[in-house]
C-alpha cells in the first residue's frame, strides 16, 4: 500500500498548482492517466483572465462573468475568484511562466481581449498559454523530492469509510489501476483531491483530449457527493470534421476575417438564423449549425474562406492553413468541413470556497468542480483562473488541518473476476453512448430526446456494471463506466431544468424563468 499526505488525481493546472503549494510541507502523490502533460490544461490556447490593468476593475470583471453566466453565477464565489486573480497570475510569473510582453519592448505584459470581456484582461503566452504554464509547472513538480508522479495510472474508485465499515463517511484514499501492469494499487491518503478535468468525451465531437472522461465527477458521485449544473455543457461552433484530426479547433477569427458557413451545396445559412450571420455569438452559431445538420441529416457543414488570397491565409492563419493542408484540405481553394464540438463542462461536484466536497477529506478543483463561478455559461479564460484560485484555497485548507492516524486499507479484491472474453462490448457501448448523447443531449434539446437518451443510458448502465463485476478492470472499461455515469447526470439535470438558460436550450421550454436557480442532484435522494 502506498501512502501520501495528499493524493491528487489529475495533472492539469489545478492539480500541479496544488502539488507545488503543498510539496514543501507534505508528501504528495499525483495520479495521471497518461503522461503528465496530456490533460486539457495544456491545450488551452487563450490565456488567464485577471484584472491587471489600471483601466480595468474588479467590478467590471465580476459583471462580465455574471452576464456570461446567464444570471446563475454565485455572487460570493465570483467575487472570491476575481479578487484573487492578480495574485494567482503573479504566482505563475514567479514560477517562471513566459507570458507574452507588450510589443513595444517594455516590461509590461501584453493583455488581450476575448468575447464577453469589457476590457483587455487576458494574460497569455502567445497562442499556447496552457502549454507554457503546464511545462513550467511540470518541471518543478518532477524535480521536487516530496512529489511522486504515477503516470499511466487511472483511479478505479475512492475508498471511503462507509465502504470499509466505518461509521464516519470520509475519504481515505483510492484504488488505482497501473495501466502498464494491470495491477490495482491501494493508495492511502489523509486528503484526496479530484482534479480530473471535464467530460468532453461523452460527446461524439469534442475539443477535449481523450483523457476527459468525467472520472472525478463519476467517482465523487458514487462516493456520495452532490453535483450541480451538469446540464450546462459548452460547445464551440467550429471544430474540424475529419477522421484523422482529433480535437482541432478552427478559430472564430476565420469567420471574423470573412469566412462563410455553407451547406454541402454551397448555400449560406447563417443569415436565416441571425441578422449578424457568421458574426453572431458562439452559442447562436453552434445552434444554427446543429439545426441544419439535424434537419438535413448531414455530417457537417463547411466554412469557406477560399475567397481570401493564399498569402493572406498563410499570414493570418498559419497553424490552421498548415494543419488543413496536411490533411489534404487547401483552404485557399476548398471549404473546411466543420461541426460544433463539446468544449467545457460548467457543472460538476459541488464545492465550497475551500474546495471541500460533501465527503470529509475529499476535495475537488478545476473543471471537475462546480464552484458557482461559471453559472449557465463560462466566460472565456475564466477556467484557468478558477484552477489557480481554488488550488490555492485547497492548499491553505489542507495545510491548516491536523494529520489523520495511518490506516491499513483493504487491498483490491479480484478473487471472483476473470479476463474479459469480448472487448467489443466496450468499444461498441463507447461509440453508442457518444453518438446518442450528440444526437439527443446536444446543443438543442427536447424532452423527448432527453428521455430517449435516459432510456439508453439505463440499459448501458446495467450492461457495464455487470461487466465491471465479472471481469478484470481495464482503462477502457473504467473510462466507459465513468462516461455513462456522467452522461446520466447530464440528462437528469437537463430534464430537471424547465427553461432555456445559457448553454441549456430546450425547444419545449424556450423561455427563461425570472429566478435563476442551480440544478442540484443528490445521490442520497
- Residues with catalytic roles: 282
CB atoms within 10 A of CB 131: 17
Grid coordinates belonging to 335: 471549404
Going by C-alpha positions, the residue among 334, 367, 373 that lies closest to residue 66 is: 373
Residue 522 phi, psi (nearest 5): -120, 120
DSSP 8-state class, residue 122: E
Q: In Å, what is the CA distance from 309 to each residue of 123, 305, 328, 410, 475?
A: 31, 9, 18, 66, 47
H or E element in which residue 67 lies: helix 58-68
Reduced to 3 states (helix: H, G, I; strand: E, B; else coil), residue 336 is strand
Helices of type H across 351-446? 382-399, 424-440
Q: Three-state SS across 217-246? A: HHHHHHHCCCEECCCCEEEEEEEECCCCCC
Assess contact for 229 and 518: CB atoms under 8 A.
Answer: yes
d(CA 341, CA 241): 10
Amino acid at each position: 500500500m502506498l501512502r501520501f499526505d495528499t493524493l491528487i488525481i489529475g495533472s492539469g493546472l489545478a492539480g500541479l498548482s496544488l502539488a507545488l503549494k503543498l510539496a514543501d510541507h507534505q508528501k504528495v502523490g499525483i495520479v495521471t492517466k497518461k503522461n503528465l502533460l496530456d490533460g486539457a490544461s495544456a491545450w488551452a490556447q487563450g490565456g488567464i483572465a485577471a484584472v491587471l490593468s489600471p483601466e480595468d476593475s474588479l467590478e467590471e470583471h465580476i459583471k462580465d462573468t455574471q452576464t456570461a453566466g446567464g444570471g446563475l453565477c454565485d455572487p460570493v464565489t465570483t467575487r472570491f475568484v476575481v479578487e484573487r486573480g492578480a495574485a494567482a497570475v503573479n504566482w505563475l510569473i514567479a514560477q517562471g511562466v513566459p507570458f507574452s510582453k507588450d510589443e513595444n519592448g517594455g516590461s509590461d505584459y501584453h493583455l488581450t481581449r476575448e468575447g464577453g470581456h469589457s476590457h483587455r484582461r487576458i494574460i497569455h503566452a502567445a497562442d499556447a498559454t496552457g502549454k507554457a504554464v503546464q511545462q513550467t509547472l511540470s518541471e518543478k513538480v518532477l524535480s521536487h523530492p516530496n512529489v511522486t508522479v504515477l503516470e499511466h495510472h487511472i483511479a478505479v474508485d475512492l475508498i471511503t469509510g462507509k465502504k470499509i465499515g466505518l461509521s464516519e463517511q470520509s475519504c481515505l484514499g483510492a484504488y488505482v489501476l497501473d495501466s502498464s501492469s494491470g495491477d490495482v494499487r491501494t493508495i492511502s491518503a489523509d486528503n484526496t483531491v479530484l482534479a480530473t478535468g471535464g467530460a468532453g468525451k461523452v460527446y461524439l465531437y469534442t475539443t477535449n483530449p481523450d483523457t476527459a472522461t468525467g472520472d472525478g465527477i463519476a467517482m465523487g458521485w458514487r462516493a456520495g457527493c452532490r453535483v450541480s449544473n451538469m446540464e450546462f455543457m459548452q460547445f464551440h461552433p467550429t471544430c474540424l470534421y475529419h477522421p484523422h484530426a482529433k480535437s482541432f479547433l478552427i478559430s472564430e477569427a476565420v469567420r471574423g476575417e470573412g469566412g462563410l458557413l455553407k451547406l454541402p451545396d454551397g448555400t449560406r445559412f447563417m443569415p436565416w438564423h441571425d441578422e449578424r450571420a457568421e458574426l453572431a455569438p458562439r452559442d447562436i452559431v453552434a445552434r444554427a449549425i446543429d439545426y441544419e445538420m439535424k434537419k438535413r441529416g448531414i455530417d457537417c457543414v463547411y466554412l469557406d474562406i477560399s475567397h481570401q488570397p493564399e498569402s493572406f491565409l498563410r499570414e493570418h492563419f498559419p497553424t490552421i492553413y498548415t494543419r488543413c493542408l496536411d490533411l489534404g484540405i487547401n483552404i485557399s481553394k476548398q471549404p473546411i468541413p466543420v461541426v460544433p464540438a463539446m468544449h467545457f463542462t460548467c457543472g460538476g461536484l459541488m464545492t465550497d470556497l475551500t474546495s471541500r466536497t460533501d465527503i470529509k477529506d475529499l476535495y475537488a478543483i478545476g473543471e471537475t468542480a462546480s464552484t458557482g463561478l461559471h453559472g449557465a455559461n463560462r466566460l472565456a479564460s475564466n477556467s484557468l483562473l478558477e484552477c489557480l484560485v481554488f488550488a490555492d484555497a485547497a492548499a491553505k485548507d489542507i495545510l491548516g488541518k491536523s494529520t489523520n492516524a495511518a490506516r491499513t486499507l483493504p487491498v483490491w479484491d479480484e478473487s471472483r473476476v476473470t479476463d474479459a472474453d469480448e472487448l467489443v462490448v466496450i468499444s461498441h457501448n463507447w461509440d453508442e453512448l457518444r453518438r446518442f448523447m450528440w444526437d439527443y443531449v446536444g446543443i438543442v434539446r427536447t424532452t423527448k430526446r432527453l428521455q430517449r437518451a435516459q432510456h439508453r443510458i439505463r440499459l448501458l448502465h446495467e450492461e457495464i456494471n455487470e461487466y465491471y463485476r465479472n471481469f478484470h478492470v481495464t482503462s477502457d472499461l473504467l473510462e466507459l463506466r465513468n462516461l455513462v455515469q456522467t452522461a446520466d447526470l447530464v440528462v437528469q439535470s437537463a430534464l430537471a431544468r424547465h427553461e432555456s438558460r445559457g448553454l441549456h436550450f430546450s425547444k419545449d421550454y424556450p423561455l427563461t424563468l425570472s429566478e435563476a436557480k442551480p440544478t442540484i442532484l443528490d445521490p442520497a435522494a
